Amino acid sequence: MVAASGLAFLGVAASTPSGQARRAALALACWPGSFMLLLAYPDVVALGAAAWAAALVLRGRPYLAGVLGAVAAAARPTGVLIAIPLFFVARGTVARAVAAGAPLAAAAAVEIYFWQRSGDPRAFIHAQELPIWQRNGPSRLSKWPGHLAHAFDVHAGLLVAAALVGAALVVVVARWASRWHAAAVAYAFVVGALLLGAQTTQTRMQSVVLAIAVPAVGLLWWLGPRYRPWALFATTVIAVSFLSGTVTSFARQALFAFPVYWAVADGPRQLRQPVIAVAAVVANVAFALTLAKYAP
């Protein structure tokens, strides 16, 4: 796992469009939940293969990129999504067909294998629907309004006070700093309110990672055209995990959306302030210490 983790870090660094390899690797190291790449999960194999596929396709080697994309697709169900950016970045009809087709073929082969072994053509889907995973699809999201209403009943005074303070703070920040800073403050208050709707500590921790990933994906879209295929990929990875109906393992699954590390590496320099890096490392260590209680 250590070797695979090292390859994943090198792949993320080598694939960044801006060439800021060191920044991208450090962003991954500081990302909440990155310690999970040292655990015995296939996620690290999928991440390493997909990141190197990205590095190769960006260097004009789509066929090798397709091979590594197939490895990613075989390692993790969401690995097949690497076909999205490979299709858009590869140049030439044949190159696109190979680069994007290889992950699709690998994913299909895995499904056929499960079918032959179990006799059930939907074996993987049925396995994902087991009660242990608590996945109810998008319908589970309908419970959030009720959770928020309950949180308001319990913490009404706190929420009202926080809303007033937040609104005043947003106005002050917008006037003395910028609208972007004001939007960040507003987002932080909204996230805090939503976290009150979470029912367990584990859900709150995973939801915090989701709250960090969403603006990072938005920043990818903002960075410009050459990031758009990768932004689409990262958006899809995050959406698939979120819409599964549970955030139980969101932090681990979201690691595969590796272009978000480029957003930190290539985005506004405020994201790379030492205080933010230190806070991220501390949060990551604290997150790792919960492994004894919560499965990743």
Domain that holds residue 276: 2-155+196-292
Is the residue at 124 inside a domain?
yes
User: What pLDDT sits at residue 131?
Assistant: 58
Number of domains the chain is built from? 1
User: What pLDDT sits at residue 83?
Assistant: 97
Q: Which of 85, 89, 84, 81 is nearest to 61 (CA)?
A: 89
Is the residue at 189 inside a domain?
no
- Residues 70-112 have pLDDT tens digits of 999 999 999 999 999 999 999 999 999 999 999 999 999 999 8
Phi, psi of 232 (to 5 degrees): -65, -40
Is the residue at 178 inside a domain?
no
Is the residue at 166 inside a domain?
no
Is the residue at 174 inside a domain?
no
> Cα separation of 51 and 113, whole Å?
26
Q: Are 172 and 122 in contact (CB under 8 A)?
A: no
Find all residues with CB under 8 Å of 281, minimum gap 6, and list them.
Answer: 29, 30
User: What pLDDT sits at residue 115?
Assistant: 84
Find all residues with CB under 8 Å of 32, minimum gap 6, and list them.
Answer: 208, 209, 212, 251, 280, 283, 284, 287
Is the residue at 127 inside a domain?
yes
- Residues 156-169 have pLDDT tens digits of 677 677 777 777 77
Token pair belonging to 185: 């403050």
Question: Which amino acid would we find at residue 58?
Answer: L
Residues (pLDDT < 70) of the chain are 1, 123-156, 159, 197-199, 245-247, 296
Is the residue at 191 inside a domain?
no
Q: How many CB atoms lie within 10 A of CB 147?
A: 15
Distances from the Cα of 246 to the Cα of 102, 109, 128, 175, 206, angstroms: 29, 27, 12, 39, 10
Q: Are 1 and 40 in contact (CB under 8 A)?
A: yes
Is the residue at 112 inside a domain?
yes
User: What pLDDT sits at residue 81?
Assistant: 97
CA 88 to centroid of chain Cα atoms: 20
Q: Are 251 and 296 in contact (CB under 8 A)?
A: yes
Question: Which amino acid would we find at residue 120?
Answer: D
User: What pLDDT sits at residue 51?
Assistant: 96
